[in-house]
Chains A and B, each alone.
Chain A
């Protein structure tokens, strides 16, 4: 079983700006294709693989519907990374946090500018999805539909996948001791 500390000890991961979100994602119950919320304390191999299954690459045989499904899964994964309190909506605070972390690598970035950018991004989503909104109305947060809508032009197939090119089952130790 893996705990969070095990993952945090990976040295190469330390330089990643969104390290915490990534680690959280492994322990997030929502990524297990079930309907639970919350997070695990430690995960086993099956849960690990379930999370990794989000990054299956499409091959020539996947049909269009399957591709849509996979894209939706990937978007859901990203959405869960943003939505840390698990209520299904990304609020401005959550979005700001993510942007701050993303930009923390660039250095010389003051918080104000990061907030500006997050605000602008939220406004974008709001204006695309709720175009009749008057300035005094309130936009609570990004729901999953809005998230999908605003990212519909983003090409995910070329970016979010891992190919295990040299998986040799004799050298891999699976979770069950016998293999």
Chain B
């Protein structure tokens, strides 16, 4: 495999080089958009095309200028994407080195090539291009995939840290740099306070994309993750506002105190206005998608257009467009994902990710290229002090601000979290773009650009690469990836309702009360208006459906993946129990039956989820209900092989005689030996059921349990054949036990019309002969309900 990887790497590298050469040559050969048509020389010179006067029909022409701009854009994007593809070929790299580093490195290489060919990089990074085309997808992705529940739980900390922290950073760095500028030795005395502040606001834009990836991989605790995530997002908004403010101020000759107040007022207007616009557009988008059931193909378009529109309108009024687009995405996501079809939902997610990935790639790539090709103004003192202050002020900010907010948090951020927070302050795309698009009126623009690039490179490379081992070393508190358990969800709901009730009793309104009020408002008004089919669905039911779907998928995978291996697994399990029985392969008829049952069950599950999103398209709701009932009864039926055996007196008595503390597993061999030979066949039905559990110890519990019972429905059939082949003499007793079979079926299923059908399917089922003797009066086939029965037996 190593050689294969290596050859892939070589191929990829070769491909990359070829493409970059192509790119560069395309650049070189067409400087400044001159076409490749040969220049027409003056009359007395030799003409290269002798028949220029006659001008025949040209057979083959090249018209580069026509396509130049889209062509170059596409080539650059492709090149950057190839770089990205190239890294993942050798996957070990991406674990240790964050992607942004790699992209910058490739950019550096390409920049080096271009520099050596004396070529200019395309003027992609103008102000408008960056802020109108490249930034929105990145921010949209952050907003769309923000985990909402942890965000709202930690919203205070996030805003506190993003807003006040950024202000702290900017002002601190600005003032200290201004102080440094006064020292004559560095020769930067001409930079005044406003320009320093402007530069500081550029520098304080944090972009912890790399850090977030590391955090996710290491699965740090949720609070730290969401604080870093939220800070990244809202810090962009604050930085851009500060930047605009300071660049305006930098051009003013005198700053008066009233300007400071105006600045603060403007800040509020910008922030809240952005949020307002975003929410407004989000609602409009949700409302629109309510009516798009007939035009599913263009549903994703609405999402993108509305969020982009929110961005542009916010830019129109010069309020925070980042806040607008983030709030739009947050609002939209909740309602739109219920209105659109499943495919549109997937498409939206995918396209959002794709666009943001492109933007990011292009930005970092250009960072590398521009590093080499721009003219730098290098000033050791200023640069070093910038780096130093950036780091110091961020650490100070974390150390001061977090303990202030910790008492208000229920889970305080401890020192290790704070270290992660401080160290994760990488700078990135936004800083670069802001620096690059500084107005030319700033005298020391090149110094600023150089300093910014230096800070970015330093933080991305050094901190980005070292954060992973450091986080693992100091052992930041991790989150245990809780698997979705129905119990957890149920109790979460219960706690919320309990807390709401208690708050009502005490008359003390706190965030549970408000949350409850909001949910009620949501259900009563917003959902009715914005969602097409607005049955309020409890989160419990949603989770349950999701888990069922997962289980069904698992069954499908495990069964249809490799049918022939199933007997092998079963026999393996048998050997563990100490009795090797030759198992028959599943016969073709059983396979068909299995597939039928599976497809019916799967079909019903899919119907349920589709029915939720699009009630009006469902042809026949009663059919849906029938399928649902059929599935319920099949689950109930699945308990029956177990329940058949349990009603035998010796077995249940054995359970009672189990001394406390002993695990039930130890009882199995003895229990099995109590059966006669033909019983063993039926007990074999029981044991293979636990295969999924033994094979996947770390599966989610519900995932382990449900296939347990579903596989029951499948294994019922093969065991039929097994039993029939092994014990032909018992066919008579099987027939006699049929009424009991029906009787038990009648107990279980709840739909009349299906009982007969199910009964027919069960006729070949193996009820154990001893079943006939046992009356079954109050069981539902559910092991959990047999408690009263046991009390009677006692």
What residues of chain A have their CB less than 8 Å away from a CB belonging to chain B? 7, 10, 12-13, 15-19, 21-22, 25-26, 52, 55, 57-60, 78, 81, 91-92, 98-99, 102-103, 105-109, 112-113, 116-117, 119-128, 130-141, 150-151, 153-165
Measured CB to CB, the closest approach of chain A to B506, in angstroms, equals 7
In the complex, identify which listed stretch (B160-168, B353-361, B380-388, B701-709) lies at the interface while the others stay far away. B701-709
Please encode chain B, from 404 to 415, with 1 for each CB lying within 8 Å of some chain A CB and 0 for all others: 001100111000
Q: Are B642 and A124 in contact (CB under 8 A)?
A: no
List of A residues within 8 angstroms of B480 by Cβ: 153
Residue of B nearest to A59 (CB): B407
Cβ-neighbour of A138 out of B540, B628, B666, B790 (below 8 A): B790
Q: Is B20 an interface residue (CB 8 A)?
A: no
Q: Are A78 and B686 in contact (CB under 8 A)?
A: no
List of A residues within 8 angstroms of B499 by Cβ: 55, 159-160, 162
A-B CB contact pairs (8 Å), 8 listed: A105-B536, A106-B538, A112-B629, A117-B544, A126-B784, A134-B668, A158-B410, A159-B499
Bound-state CA distance A108–B503 (Å) is: 28
Q: Is B643 an interface residue (CB 8 A)?
A: yes
Q: Are B496 and A159 in contact (CB under 8 A)?
A: yes
Cβ-neighbour of B784 out of A106, A108, A116, A138 (below 8 A): A138
Indicate whether A132 sits within 8 Å of B153 (C-beta atoms), given known contacts A98-B494, A120-B544, A123-B705: no
List of A residues within 8 angstroms of B639 by Cβ: 135
Bound-state CA distance A58–B407 (Å) is: 10
List of A residues within 8 angstroms of B541 by Cβ: 103, 106, 109, 113, 117
Residue of A nearest to B672 (CB): A134
Please encode chain B, from 688 to 728, with 1 for each CB lying within 8 Å of some chain A CB and 0 for all others: 01100100000001101110110010000000000000000
Q: Are A138 and B498 in contact (CB under 8 A)?
A: no
Q: Are B411 and A158 in contact (CB under 8 A)?
A: yes
Q: Is B646 an interface residue (CB 8 A)?
A: yes
In the complex, identify which listed stretch (B266-274, B481-489, B554-562) lies at the interface while the others stay far away. B481-489
Q: Are B708 and A151 in contact (CB under 8 A)?
A: no
Residue of A nearest to B712 (CB): A135
Q: Is B785 an interface residue (CB 8 A)?
A: yes
Indicate whether A138 sits within 8 Å of B410 (C-beta atoms), given known contacts A18-B498, A19-B501, A113-B541: no
Measured CB to CB, the closest approach of chain B to A156, in angstroms, equals 7
For the A-B complex, the count of residue pairs with Cβ-Cβ distances under 8 Å equals 209
Beta-carbon contacts under 8 Å, B110-156 to A: 153
List of B residues within 8 angstroms of A131 by Cβ: 665, 693
Q: Are A134 and B153 in contact (CB under 8 A)?
A: no
Q: Is B10 an interface residue (CB 8 A)?
A: no
Q: Are B686 and A133 in contact (CB under 8 A)?
A: no
Cβ-neighbour of B708 out of A102, A135, A137, A154 (below 8 A): A135
The 7 closest A-B pairs by CB, nearest first: A135-B642, A132-B665, A136-B646, A136-B642, A22-B501, A153-B482, A106-B538
List of B residues within 8 angstroms of A92 by Cβ: 782, 784-785
Q: Are A136 and B498 in contact (CB under 8 A)?
A: no
List of B residues within 8 angstroms of A117 by Cβ: 486, 490, 540-541, 544
Beta-carbon contacts under 8 Å, B466-508 to A: 480, 482, 485-488, 490-506, 508
Q: Is B244 an interface residue (CB 8 A)?
A: no
Q: Are B702 and A159 in contact (CB under 8 A)?
A: no
Cβ-neighbour of B488 out of A103, A136, A153 (below 8 A): A153
Measured CB to CB, the closest approach of chain B to A7, in angstroms, equals 6
Q: Is B786 an interface residue (CB 8 A)?
A: yes
Q: Is B528 an interface residue (CB 8 A)?
A: no
Bound-state CA distance A160–B632 (Å) is: 35
List of B residues within 8 angstroms of A116 by Cβ: 544, 632, 635
List of B residues within 8 angstroms of A141 by Cβ: 784, 787
List of A residues within 8 angstroms of B505 by Cβ: 7, 10, 13, 22, 26
List of A residues within 8 angstroms of B169 by Cβ: none
Cβ-neighbour of A137 out of B500, B544, B664, B666 (below 8 A): B664
Q: Are B410 and A157 in contact (CB under 8 A)?
A: yes
Measured CB to CB, the closest approach of chain B to A99, in angstroms, equals 6
Q: Which of B541, B644, B655 has the most CB of A within 10 A?
A: B541
Q: Is B651 an interface residue (CB 8 A)?
A: yes
Bound-state CA distance A159–B646 (Å) is: 42
Q: Is B645 an interface residue (CB 8 A)?
A: yes
Measured CB to CB, the closest approach of chain B to A24, in angstroms, equals 11
Please encode chain B, from 617 to 654, with 1 for each CB lying within 8 Å of some chain A CB and 0 for all others: 00000000000110010010001011111100001100
Q: Are A58 and B410 in contact (CB under 8 A)?
A: yes
- Since A126-B784, A138-B646, A162-B506 are in contact, a sample of 5 more A-B pairs with Cβ atoms closer than 8 Å, ordered by chain A residue number, is A57-B410, A78-B495, A131-B693, A154-B482, A159-B496
Size range of the chain B interface in the assembly:
35 or more
Q: Are A162 and B411 in contact (CB under 8 A)?
A: no
Measured CB to CB, the closest approach of chain B to A77, in angstroms, equals 8
Bound-state CA distance A137–B538 (Å) is: 32
Q: Is B783 an interface residue (CB 8 A)?
A: yes
Q: Is B663 an interface residue (CB 8 A)?
A: yes
Bound-state CA distance A126–B784 (Å) is: 9
Q: Are A156 and B642 in contact (CB under 8 A)?
A: no
Q: Are A160 and B495 in contact (CB under 8 A)?
A: yes
Q: Are A151 and B494 in contact (CB under 8 A)?
A: no
Q: Are B642 and A127 in contact (CB under 8 A)?
A: no
Bound-state CA distance A13–B492 (Å) is: 19
List of B residues within 8 angstroms of A130 by Cβ: 663-664
Indicate whether A133 sits within 8 Å of B702 (C-beta atoms), given known contacts A18-B498, A158-B411: no
Residue of B nearest to A130 (CB): B664
Cβ-neighbour of B406 out of A21, A60, A153 (below 8 A): A60
Indicate whether A150 sits within 8 Å of B783 (C-beta atoms), given known contacts A103-B538, A124-B702: no
List of B residues within 8 angstroms of A140 by Cβ: 787
List of A residues within 8 angstroms of B25 by Cβ: none
Measured CB to CB, the closest approach of chain B to A168, in angstroms, equals 12
Bound-state CA distance A43–B655 (Å) is: 43
List of B residues within 8 angstroms of A102 by Cβ: 490, 493-494, 497, 538, 540
Bound-state CA distance A159–B510 (Å) is: 11
Q: Are B536 and A135 in contact (CB under 8 A)?
A: no
List of B residues within 8 angstroms of A55 by Cβ: 499, 502
Cβ-neighbour of A154 out of B410, B492, B706, B709 (below 8 A): B492
Cβ-neighbour of B497 out of A17, A99, A127 (below 8 A): A17
Bound-state CA distance A57–B772 (Å) is: 59
Indicate whether A105 sits within 8 Å of B494 (C-beta atoms), given known contacts A132-B663, A135-B642: no
Q: Is B537 an interface residue (CB 8 A)?
A: yes
Indicate whether A106 sits within 8 Å of B537 (C-beta atoms), given known contacts A22-B498, A151-B487: yes
List of B residues within 8 angstroms of A91 by Cβ: 784, 787
Indicate whether A150 sits within 8 Å of B655 (C-beta atoms), given known contacts A22-B502, A78-B494, A112-B632: no
Indicate whether A151 sits within 8 Å of B491 (C-beta atoms), given known contacts A103-B538, A108-B535, A158-B153: yes
List of A residues within 8 angstroms of B495 by Cβ: 78, 156, 159-160
